Chain A
Amino acid sequence: MSDKSIQVIEGSEVGFATTRVDALLGWARKYSLFQYPFVTACCGMEFMALASPRFDMARFGAEAPRFTPRQADLLWVVGTVSQRQAPVLKMVYDQMADPKYVLAFGTCASCGGFYDNYATVPGIDKVIPVDVYVPGCPPRPEGVIDGLLLLQDKIATGDRTPAVVKPRTDPVPKDLVSLRRSAEGDPVSEAG
């Protein structure tokens, strides 16, 4: 009872539903994410794939890119952020209006990745708070969609703790042939 945020009450002539204001706001926000793509590196190609019709981010209500942070409420940090660029990222984040969410796209944005050097910020959470981390170099669009859905869940429940997209394996049917190395070193086909 208490965990149902929307309750439909039947029996009257018109029918009506009750909900809480924050649940309604969360529901509205999660399907109208205006995004600001802060694209700095190669993950941007994957971001374009995600936004284009094949993977189609628009299905999840996150289709409108805003190229000013003042109109956006989801900041995609896509790619490596160098020390020199960190003030820019901070300024972009500060310009966004509340409520604002940040998604770290790829390993570089999440933790610096293999750019373990004098020039790179080891994870954008050193500079701005992050809601969802999507690891991968680059992450697959499915992984990013996982991250987007995770963020939507968090928006709906009002949860602001950071979360990481868990890795997934493809659900491979057993009757498909998969190549494995046997003990002798010969590739053996394991047909089901």
Chain B
Amino acid sequence: MSKVVLKRLEKRFGEAILSTHDQFGDETAVVTPEVWHEVALFLRDDSRCQMDHFIDLTAVDYLGRRTPRFEVVLHMRSMQKLHRIRVKTPVAMGPDGENPKVDSLVDVWKGANWFEREAWDMFGIEFKGHPDLRRLLMYEEFEGHPLRKDYDANKTQPLVEYREGYEKQAPFGLPEGMPFGRQVHDRWKVHVAGRQTDGKTNILGFEED
């Protein structure tokens, strides 16, 4: 379907296209973060591509599974040519644990604005050149980025101090609602605690970023 777009990309950017593949009919290109903005501009303006419809932008955290750790995913569509394409770029944490950085695409598609804010909110990916990079869903006081895999699944940051000294009645148990609804999020830690570490991986068996 949209293989012509992948060919155009490979012809134009060459080595900067790390790989291309076809997942269930969705053509995908993985590009280096250096050409991220350039690729987006090319896809929008090239006469054979005309990706004028920005669909989605999000991120994935591959903690312990891939290096670099994060991947930013962009979906586009062409109203004129009916192409669909997905472009990904791997982005890494800074050497001292700084947030990963990638170019903002707001000047290419205005619709990217809130999507990048969401990716910043949930994954802590800084979009360089974004006009207003604030949290989108969580509140200002929230610390950390909740969809990162190293964010503690049980951690909440209430804005209002919780009441105390009341009793929940059956079927709601203490302390938090229904007992069958509470998952044990730390079970995986028990599972990997017995593993040997070989120096390269941390205690959880994950490769250091």
Q: Is A112 an interface residue (CB 8 A)?
A: yes
**B residues within 8 A CB of A180?**
none
Beta-carbon contact of A122 and B177 below 8 Å: yes
Contact B172–A84 (Cβ < 8 Å): no
| Chain B residues with CB under 8 A of A128 | 163
Number of interface residues of A (CB under 8 A): 28
Which of B44-52, B77-85, B178-186, B191-199 is found at the contact surface with chain A? B178-186
Contact: B162 with A127, CB < 8 Å? yes
Min C-beta distance of B180 to chain A, whole Å: 10
Tell whether, in the assembled complex, residue A122 and residue B176 are in contact, meaning their CB atoms are under 8 Å apart: yes
In the bound assembly, the distance between CA atoms of A133 and B151 in angstroms comes to 32
A-B contact count (CB 8 A): 81
Asked if B171 is at the interface of the complex by the 8 Å CB criterion, the answer is yes
In this complex, which of B156, B157, B162 has the most chain A Cβ atoms within 10 angstroms of its Cβ?
B156
Q: How large is the interface on B (under 10, 10 to 19, 20 to 34, 35 or more residues)?
A: 20 to 34
Neighbouring B residues of A118 by C-beta, 8 Å: 146, 151, 153, 155-157
Q: A119-B146, A122-B177 are in contact. Are A111 and B153 (CB under 8 A)?
A: no
Which B152-169 residues have a C-beta within 8 angstroms of A?
153, 155-160, 162-163, 166-169
A135 to B171, CA, bound (A): 9
In the bound assembly, the distance between CA atoms of A110 and B172 in angstroms comes to 8
Chain B residues 120-139 with CB under 8 Å of chain A are: 137-139
Closest-CB distance, B44 to chain A (whole angstroms): 34
Residues of A within 8 Å of B151, CB to CB, are 118
Cβ of A142 to closest chain B Cβ, rounded Å: 18
Interface pair A84/B163, CB less than 8 Å apart:
no
Collect the chain A residues with CB atoms within 8 Å of residue B170's CB.
164
Which of A113, A117, A118, A135 lies at the interface centre, i.e. has the most chain B CB atoms within 10 A of its CB?
Answer: A118
In angstroms, Cα B112 to Cα A162, docked, is: 47
Q: A113 touching B177 by the CB < 8 A rule?
A: yes
Using a CB–CB distance below 8 Å, which chain B residues touch chain A? 137-139, 146, 151, 153, 155-160, 162-163, 166-172, 176-178, 181-183
| 22 examples of A-B residue contacts, CB within 8 angstroms | A83-B157, A84-B138, A86-B160, A90-B160, A111-B177, A112-B181, A116-B176, A116-B177, A118-B151, A118-B153, A118-B156, A119-B146, A122-B177, A123-B176, A125-B163, A126-B162, A127-B163, A133-B172, A135-B172, A162-B167, A162-B168, A164-B170
Which 9 residue pairs are nearest across A and B when measured between Cβ atoms? A111-B177, A118-B146, A126-B162, A122-B176, A86-B160, A111-B172, A84-B139, A164-B169, A112-B177
